[in-house]
């Protein structure tokens, strides 16, 4: 027989069962952007700091440093200026959702950002670069098919997240370089 205290505790949600409603970050944009890099939803550290790809083990900023000069050694605002100048915009598929922790698999109740408006404001856009499979899958489920202009390519890239260890870093970097090039972004170098 269960004690009444233990039975009462079963009726209460566990701390890790509660979901937190999250709001995404605003887009980093330039009207002349040729590439839009889309994640699914920023991780906890990014949301806390209000900065894209804030986790120190995420490869996004090291890749952008090597490919377009937006080095992680630069102040955040300077990195954003370099991206804008290179023709790269940043955003996420999800405007808001519920999620406990930072894993994409924990996302519930996702609401997409306004991509029809974004694409209308960025007529030079050539490609949407999905930072991982979850970003692409979420985009395909959440965004109406007619929102993406026919001339804009969709390119799924390996996630820069530290959770993605299925592909080595050099291969990821080459794929990111090729995708940026396909979007018309001049890649500075593939330096180590």
φ, ψ of residue 168 in degrees (nearest 5): -70, 160
Chain-centroid distance of CA 20 in Å reads: 19
Q: Does the annotation mark 131 as catalytic?
A: no
Concatenating the DSSP letter of every residue in 152-187 gives SEEEEE---STT--SS-HHHHHHHHHHHHHHTTPPP
Q: Are 117 and 167 in contact (CB under 8 A)?
A: no
Identify whether the C-beta of residue 81 lies closer than 8 Å to the C-beta of residue 43.
Answer: no
Query: Residue 156 and residue 136: Cα distance in Å, rounded?
Result: 7
Catalytic residue among 30, 58, 113, 131: 58
CA terminus-to-terminus distance, the chain: 64
Residue numbers annotated as active site: 58
């Amino acid at each position: 027989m269960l004690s009444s205290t233990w039975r009462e505790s079963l009726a209460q949600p566990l701390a890790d069962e509660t979901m937190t409603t999250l709001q995404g970050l605003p887009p980093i944009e330039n009207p002349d952007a040729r590439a839009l890099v889309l994640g699914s939803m920023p991780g906890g550290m990014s949301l806390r700091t209000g900065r894209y790809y804030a986790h120190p083990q995420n490869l996004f900023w090291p890749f952008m440093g090597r490919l377009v000069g937006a080095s992680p050694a630069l102040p955040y605002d300077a990195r954003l200026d370099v991206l804008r100048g290179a023709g790269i915009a940043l955003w996420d598929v999800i405007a808001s959702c519920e999620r406990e922790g930072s894993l994409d698999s924990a996302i519930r109740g996702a609401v997409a950002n306004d991509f029809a408006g974004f694409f209308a404001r960025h007529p030079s856009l050539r490609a949407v670069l999905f930072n991982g499979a979850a970003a692409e899958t979420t985009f395909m489920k959440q965004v109406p098919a007619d929102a993406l202009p026919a001339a804009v390519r969709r390119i799924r890239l390996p996630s820069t997240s530290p959770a993605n260890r299925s592909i080595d870093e050099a291969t990821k970097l080459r794929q990111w370089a090729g995708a940026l090039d396909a979007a018309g972004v001049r890649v500075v170098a593939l330096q180590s």
